[in-house]
């Protein structure tokens, strides 16, 4: 049996230890705060998982609402400053919109095009503004450009693959290096031959039509940046068609969209795309008629 004196000593020792522990924590925190202020480090607001954030002051049922919030990416439970947004909410919205706008209004870097041994051509659009205003010009090329494509590319390929900026250069930058080798590997596994890849600036989906005709490609496939949302600016789409014709209906094209790290990852999408292309070559058709 332990006597009362011993017990008191033990309790006092434990309390002492705990106090030390607490003060050690406090010191650690103070050190961290100091280090942070020394580095002038402000947290990256885009790192915050919005689904887990709840900014309402004195809510009635925080946990119950957070549980519901797991089921949506909508910006909920944000609280308010008067009838306006809290600063954090406002800045996060602006940051996400900034990423989306930059994806649209910047260009794919020459570095990426060089790294992937591509050559670059333009549609009839002179600049980004014209590209956005004139969807009709984003699917056409000058005769000189078509001659250049024809000179630099292998003719009559089974599959012609190329990339275009579309509405998100960021999507091309984020995915092209992963998706292109994945498609190539998939097709090589099926003994399907790919033509010479290249890059189209200011390109719309239907730019595949004159390209397919110019090179006499059986299947034509464009990897193109999607219109960015606030959730991601990195989403890429792959549009494919068999025997593409100028002015063909949309229903003759197949698309695999939502290719990005949080959607279908590029490597996985590449394998899927190879399967669709194989089906097109076997069934000699595409779009709604394709059985996959």
Partner 1 sequence: MNLKTRLFGEVFSFDSVKEVLGKANEEKSGDQLAKTAAESVTERIAAKTVLSNLLLADLRNHPVVPYEEDEVTRVIQDDMNEKIYAEIKNWTAAELREWILDDKIRGSDIKRISRGLSSEMIAAVTKLMSDLDLIYAAKKINITAHCNTTIGREGTLAMRLQPNHPTDDIDGIMPSVMEGFSYGNGDAVLGLNPVNDGVSNVENILKHFDEFKNKWEIPTQISVLAHISTQMKAVKNGAPIDMFFQSIAGSEKGNEAFGVDVELLTEARELALKEGTSAGPNVMYFETGQGSELSSDAHHSADQLTMEARCYGLAKRFEPFLVNTVVGFIGPEYLYDGKQMIRAGLEDHFMGKLSGISMGVDCCYTNHMKTDQNDVEKLAVLLANAGCNYFIGVPVGDDVMLNYQAAGYHDAQAVREVVGLRPIREFEEWLKKMGLMKNGRLTSKAGDPSIFLNSNGVK
Q: How far is the CB of 177 from partner 1 (least distance, A)?
A: 24
For residues 66 and 77, the answer to whether their CB atoms sit within 8 Å is yes
- Here's the x/- map for partner 1, 169-208, by CB under 8 A: it reads as ----------------------------------------
56 binds partner 1 (CB under 8 A): yes
Candidate residues 3, 37, 39, 61; the one interacting with partner 1 per rule CB under 8 A: 61
Candidate residues 11, 68, 246, 261; the one interacting with partner 1 per rule CB under 8 A: 68
Residues recorded for the chain: 292
Q: How far is the CB of 259 from partner 1 (least distance, A)?
A: 16
Question: 142: Cβ–Cβ under 8 A, 6 or more apart, which residues?
Answer: 124
Can you list the alpha helix ranges (DSSP code H) found in the chain?
4-39, 62-69, 87-105, 110-115, 128-133, 143-152, 169-189, 208-215, 266-283
Token pair for residue 272? 């899927």
52 binds partner 1 (CB under 8 A): no
DSSP β-ladder status, 219-225 and 199-201: unpaired
Candidate residues 84, 111, 191, 249; the one interacting with partner 1 per rule CB under 8 A: 84
Number of residues binding to partner 1, judged by CB under 8 A: 47
Q: Whole-angstrom Cα distance, residue 170 to residue 103?
A: 5
211 binds partner 1 (CB under 8 A): no
119 binds partner 1 (CB under 8 A): no
231 binds partner 1 (CB under 8 A): yes
- Here's the x/- map for partner 1, 141-170, by CB under 8 A: it reads as --------------------------x---
73 binds partner 1 (CB under 8 A): yes
Question: 178: Cβ–Cβ under 8 A, 6 or more apart, which residues?
Answer: 265, 266, 267, 270
> In sequence order, what DSSP letters do the residues of 163-207 get, joined into one string?
EE-TT-HHHHHHHHHHHHHHHHHHHHHTT--B----EEET--GGG
The site for partner 1 (CB under 8 A) is made up of 56-65, 67-69, 71-80, 82-85, 89, 93-94, 96-97, 100-101, 103-104, 132-136, 167, 227-231
């Amino acid at each position: 049996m332990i006597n009362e004196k011993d017990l008191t000593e033990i309790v006092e020792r434990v309390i002492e230890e705990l106090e030390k522990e607490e003060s050690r924590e406090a010191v650690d925190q103070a050190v961290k705060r100091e280090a942070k202020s020394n580095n002038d480090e402000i947290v990256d607001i885009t790192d915050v998982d919005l689904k887990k954030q709840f900014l309402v002051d004195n809510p009635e049922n925080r946990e119950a609402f957070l549980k519901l919030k797991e089921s949506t990416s909508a910006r909920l439970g944000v609280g308010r400053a008067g009838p306006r947004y809290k600063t954090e909410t406002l800045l996060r919205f602006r940051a996400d919109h900034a990423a989306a706008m930059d994806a649209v209004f910047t260009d794919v870097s020459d570095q990426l095009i060089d790294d992937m041994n591509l050559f670059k051509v333009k549609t009839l659009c002179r600049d980004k503004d014209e590209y956005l205003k004139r969807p009709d010009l984003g699917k056409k090329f000058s005769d000189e450009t078509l001659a250049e494509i024809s000179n630099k590319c292998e003719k009559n390929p089974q599959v012609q693959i190329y990339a275009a900026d579309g509405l998100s250069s960021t999507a091309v930058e984020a995915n092209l290096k992963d998706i292109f080798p994945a498609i190539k590997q998939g097709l090589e596994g099926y003994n399907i031959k790919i033509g010479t890849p290249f890059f189209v600036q200011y390109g719309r989906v239907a730019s595949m039509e004159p390209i397919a005709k110019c090179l006499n490609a059986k299947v034509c496939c464009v990897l193109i940046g999607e219109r960015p949302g606030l959730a991601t600016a990195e989403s890429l789409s792959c549009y494919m068609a068999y025997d593409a014709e100028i002015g063909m209906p949309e229903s003759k094209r197949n698309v695999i969209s939502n290719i990005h790290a949080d959607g279908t990852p590029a490597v996985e999408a590449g394998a899927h795309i190879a399967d669709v292309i194989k089906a097109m070559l076997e069934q000699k058709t595409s779009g709604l008629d394709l059985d996959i």
